[in-house]
Structure 1
């Protein structure tokens, strides 16, 4: 609508009557109701790429002069050519999207490359560091990038292979918490909801391609500003998925005041379960022992009386009968089913002193038992049913089929029988059988102040990040979906301070898992700091500016500290991790992490193998992020690492294939060739378990196809 509003303005200026007529017709159209979520899906979105060298054909903006704090020229320009004059690169610019384009010549250092979401990109990665303490474990990866482009890159490395995505996107509060088209979205922006939805939809569509379609989950946290629209967007984007929303308390002590409204203490998390196998794994939640005195175990005995739908006597008349007990609660007999027209009050006791226990609700409604009379008789004989006596009232419990299987499997042990003949049962020591979590979480471990902000201060003292999530809230959220997947790949493309990767490390420590986390964050500098930096004559892309960005200043130091156990000053981290796994933070983790920055390559350079060093980390990611990255193929023009190999010189194919056959754990062979028949020849010789990938055909084709997805 913002583009349409501008066109209407121009029409009114040229012909007031024509403008008025068009506005009236558009107003009538907008009153028509459309089913589902309605928003401006094609709101233009662009991002500046300050680290990208300016090339001929690029789309750019002109930067404001150094030292100015006001916004620069919002217009877009095309670079028609680059020339060098007196050692300075000059960019010849022509204005875009106008009938009579203006032209100008600017120093290349005073323009910044701009990418719109429709633009085709050819990504690469530059490694900026790594931490290794985890032996042969897969590496966690941190990617400094605009997340839409990072997601595009991941369609080449991880399409349909992500087990869980956890994201904490901007909440659209109007408080400079996110940018759209390089400007902060203010609270009074008429299109802020459409911008947010368009922003999210583009990213969720790519996320859908990354998730394992057979068994995976997307988790999105949100507050009250956009939770309704987010829910509809998720329903619209994942029509075949099961979606559930969880409410969890993040600020139990004070809450967040809202003028004229209730003080907010909670946030929400949407769980989108993709595939038939996907679901929640029962698990212990952090902090449960603080609220209940002990971890919550799944019950063993269940009520024999049926409740819920189809539980009344009229629904199942054959399941309405008396169970006769004496004054001590000892079962003496189980009666037969009573006809529907029978009156239970008219039934005479089998003998004096016996009392009939019927399936009667507290309000007097007649319900039914779970089992028929003969099955209940056998249950009492085996000790698999029992009567509870309390203040002259009696209730009946029984063992379900699931609990009887757990007894047979040894998860529940029988210690004998009680005085009434019922089995005495308990959970076997060391075996924790837990019930599924509820949809409202009130754990003290989820306090974002204590276990988000304060914990981050321990890891990176003196460095602030707005509203980090509680480490244990993220840990619990992931535990419920990847506890049974020790090799899960977890993605967070709004990773911020790196809490998700930290949580995955804790999960690995608790069960010996080898899960890996891919964290994507930009290197945005906070709004409060930007004005001061601009006054100093700094711009995005300058080393002094980038040093204060989220990725370089918070995310990388935080995860490095978490692994090594030492803060950026080299001192042991103070404090302890708490709850399910308590240990000093200074112990660190036996994990590996690698850090990268996304680059933008020219397709011709890729095709001619001149961008191999930037494409190399993507090959490593696709092969499982284990061991070293192959950056140089050496004199033989082939090399092999822990999980993959690369062959450039096909004359060395026999030697390459032989090495592949002798090496265990190699999963992918990348073959650099433009000749399809030569590629097929190598494929026939490779071991059957090795997946062949043709370079650079697969790479170029992937990103050419991706371009049309979001149009």
Structure 2
């Protein structure tokens, strides 16, 4: 780097020198000591069914369902210059002298990074079991564009993101730029893919208090941890190891793998809450291996382990005075400074023995508290003396910690009077378990990905399979640490796969009556082996039979439908019961609603006044909380406020008085609106209308070319 600086400094042209210095600073800024990877060609999206080929369209020519690339045509992107009945005349995107013709039905419209995208959402189905509750949503989409589209309704509002991205094991099991990756650049391509998505995710997360949870194995854990630190600067990152396969997965010439990792990014004030979850059975101080509460135990008063020597403390080496006959504590002496011998301490009261903190090997230790705090705790009944050891002649002394008192305050422990020595009698509360801090090693059998991932999934999807689904209970417990006190939380998973995250959120709602919402995004890719089989039969992407076997249509959607209804895709009740925290029959389903969407790519040539409101209607509904009836079309009256919804849309400013009157009526009737959308290109007109709305209504302006409000894909997230 220094050599480059010297070379640039030697350039005599001052303007050129400054320009190059600025370019070098931009290129190297923030990456000198961080994770370095290539950006690679920006990702593109093939729109197999969504847009027809027009003159001026960017297209890729498909051969046997794959892009027809050549050595001189690395990207395979062409521009349509003319169309005839069955043929398209094409010129290369970057070199218009390269021309060719191709069958029109083999040309597929493509959107590259930088091409404006006008996203919409088209509902493909919904399940409603309780109209009064908000909806979960599942979006069939390439996830980067979905994340950008979700910024409109959810920027800075997401409470938790849980993602399980492709693990990049070296197999051809994930795509970059429409092709499966197994080459030498796979790590760099994987990081480039993750970088864009994580930066978009950061914009969605609540900056004051939220969490990102990322599941990963050893193939990319160290690289992704560095990337997370670069993106989420100032946030605390912690890794948890989870035992997911006790039997072990064989890896040639290596140790058998039994675990995976969860990376927790704590944003703002986020931190894991104390819960009843026992992630490491057998190691908890509060819960037995069988899940029952252990007998309450006081904390030893003499410090042990690290920082337990006399010299490790400045004020915790003093004598405790215990009456020799009654065994009661009568007080304590003052701290004896380091360098002073115990023999120099004042004598204890008559009839008492001075017990100092002494280890078994005879070395001097220290207590847990200072002398002043000890006296306070003694008066409050928080000091207890046990039996005297016949061999050592010492009494066992214990105390109630701040954590014990907090558990009493939470109702997990109860006080049942005082004993004869004045110490509090503390017991476990009937029917309650002590909450505890989670540990960084999770060994609970509930986290077995075989039993509670693959096997459980087959109950909801008989005779269908999905590779490596997560344990439902592992995802549930990971989210519980951050959502236990957030009953209205928004949870996002943009690598939704089989839909475990949404399923886990529904489980949490069932346990405490919460109204948490999940937003799930997954593509509709088929596996490479399935793709080969379909191509051999002459079936290609975009065909109904191909799309029916994609992840979203074949796995995610039917799994979540079965979870909500309790009925499988074969129209039979789901067999079996949920386990652990909240056991009940799976056939009961959940008292939840879910709607299924497909992200649409609206033709920019058709983005004009009044043409595409239906495309963005679901996004407005999401802004208002995704509950109640949706305004799906322009109302002839010029405005619309559904009776059972909490938002309205003013399409024609000329009708503002009727709209405002109805909004005010709802405010006084006890069912006020939370959101209002005003369609106008005039800022002054918008402000005038909004000034008439009652307090508490969040207003937003929509331009009359509706889709222009939602243009994405023209810049990378910061």
TM-score (norm 1): 0.88
Instruction: Verify the 8 A CA contact 2:336 2:345 in the aligned structure 1.
Output: no
Secondary structure at the aligned position of 2:626 is classed as coil
- Partners of 2:369 and 2:399 in 1: how far apart? 10
Structure 1 residues 144-201: Cα deviation after superposition (integer angstroms, max 9, x where no partner)? 0000010010111211110000000000011222011211111xx2211110110000
CA contact (8 A) 1:145 1:522 kept: yes
Task: Report 1:455-470 matches (<5 A).
Answer: 455-470=456-471
Question: Counterpart of 1:125 in 2: which secondary structure?
Answer: strand
Deviations 1:364-389 (Å, cap 9, x if unpaired)? 55343233324323422432111244
Q: SS in structure 2 opposite 1:614?
A: helix
After TM superposition, list the pairs within 5 Å mapping 1:295-694 onto structure 2.
Answer: 301-306=298-303, 312-325=309-322, 326=324, 329-344=327-342, 350=348, 355-361=353-359, 365-389=363-387, 391-392=389-390, 394-401=395-402, 403-404=404-405, 407=408, 411-603=412-604, 605-641=606-642, 642-663=645-666, 664-694=671-701
The corresponding residue for 2:179 is: 183
Supply the distance in 1 between the matched residues of 2:54 and 2:294 (Cα, whole angstroms): 63
Residue 110 of structure 1: aligned partner:
106
- Higher mean C-alpha deviation, range 49-58 or range 215-224: 49-58
Measured in 1, the distance between the counterparts of 2:361 and 2:54 equals: 79
How big is each residue's C-alpha offset from its partner over 1:243-278, in whole Å with a ceiling of 9 and x where there is no partner?
1111110001x11122222211110011001112x1
CA contact (8 A) 2:59 2:109 kept: yes
Aligned to 2:148: 152
Aligned-pair CA distance for 1:405: 5.4
Contact 2:454 2:469 in 1 (8 A): yes
Aligned to 2:3: none
Greater CA deviation, 233-242 or 664-673?
664-673
Distance in structure 1 (CA, Å) of the matches to 2:36 and 2:708: 33
Deviates more, 1:664-673 or 1:512-521: 664-673
Say which SS state the counterpart of residue 617 (structure 2) adopts: helix
Counterpart of 2:253 (choices 255, 260, 272) is 260
Q: Which moved further from structure 2: 177-186 or 395-404?
A: 395-404
The Cα offsets for residues 563-582 of structure 1, whole Å up to 9 and x where unpaired, read as: 11110111111011100000
Post-superposition offset of 1:96 = 2.2
Matched residue, 1:77: 77
CA distance in 1, matches of 2:622, 2:358: 61
Moved more, 460-469 or 44-53: 44-53
Q: Is the 8 A contact 1:606 1:696 kept in 2?
A: no
Task: Return 337-346 or 222-231, whichever deviates more.
Answer: 337-346
Q: Between 363-372 and 630-639, report the one with greater CA deviation.
A: 363-372
Give the whole-Å Cα distance in 1 for the aligned partners of 2:130 and 2:616: 25
Deviation track 1:403-452 (CA, whole Å, cap 9, x = no partner) reads 44554675532112234332111233345440111111001000000000
- Over 3 Å counting, the alpha-carbon distance change for 1:262 and 1:374 in structure 2 is same
Task: Decide which of 122, 128, 135 is 2:118's aligned counterpart.
Answer: 122
Aligned counterparts of 2:91 and 2:305: Cα–Cα separation in 1 = 71
C-alpha distance in structure 2 between counterparts of 1:47 and 1:706, whole Å = 11
Q: Which structure 2 segments of 5+ residues have no match?
A: 1-26, 283-287
- Report how far residue 396 of structure 1 moved: 2.6
State the shift of 1:701 in Å: 6.3
Tell me whether 1:216 sits opposite 2:210 in the alignment. Answer: yes
Structure 1, residues 76-126: CA drift from partner, whole Å, max 9, x if none? 3333345352xx5x433211234x632223333212222333433110011
Alpha-carbon distance between aligned partners in 2 of 1:319 and 1:698, rounded to the nearest angstrom: 73
Task: Name the CA shift for 1:700/1:214 in 2 (closer, same or farther; >3 Å).
Answer: farther
How many Å apart are 1:647 and its aligned residue? Answer: 1.3
Shift of 1:463: 0.7
Q: CA RMSD in A?
A: 2.8
Partners of 2:607 and 2:705 within 8 A in 1: no
Distance change >3 Å, CA 387–CA 240, structure 1 → 2: same
CA-CA distance at 1:511 after TM superposition: 0.2
Query: 1:614 deviation in Å?
Result: 1.1
**Count of matched residue positions in the alignment of Structure 1 and Structure 2:** 671
CA distance in 1, matches of 2:662, 2:504: 38
Q: Give the deviation of 1:601 after TM superposition.
A: 1.4
SS of 2:614's equivalent in the other structure is: helix
Pairwise CA distance, 1:293: 2.3
Q: Is the 8 A contact 1:141 1:594 kept in 2?
A: yes
CA distance in 2, matches of 1:374, 1:194: 59
Equivalent residue, structure 2, for 1:10: none
- Give 3-state SS (helix, strand or coil) of 2:497's partner: coil
Is this contact kept in 2: 1:91–1:107, CA < 8 A?
Answer: yes
Question: Displacement of 1:698 after TM fit?
Answer: 10
Distance 2:45 2:333 in 1: 76
Aligned to 2:275: 283
The structure-2 alpha-carbon separation of the partners of 1:342 and 1:65, relative to structure 1 and needing over 3 Å to count, comes to: closer
Greater mean alpha carbon deviation, residues 545-554 or residues 76-85? 76-85
Question: What is the distance in 2 between the residues matched to 1:319 and 1:76?
Answer: 75
1:51 aligned to 2:49?
yes
Cα distance between partner residues in 1 of 2:712 and 2:112: 16
Shift of the alpha carbon at 1:542? 0.5
Alpha carbons of 1:308 and 1:601: their partners in 2 closer, same or farther (altered >3 Å)? farther
The answer on 1:244 being equivalent to 2:243 is: no
Contact 2:244/2:258, CA 8 A, preserved across alignment: yes
Q: Contact 1:138–1:626 (CA<8 Å) still a contact in 2?
A: yes
The residue aligned with 2:715 is 708
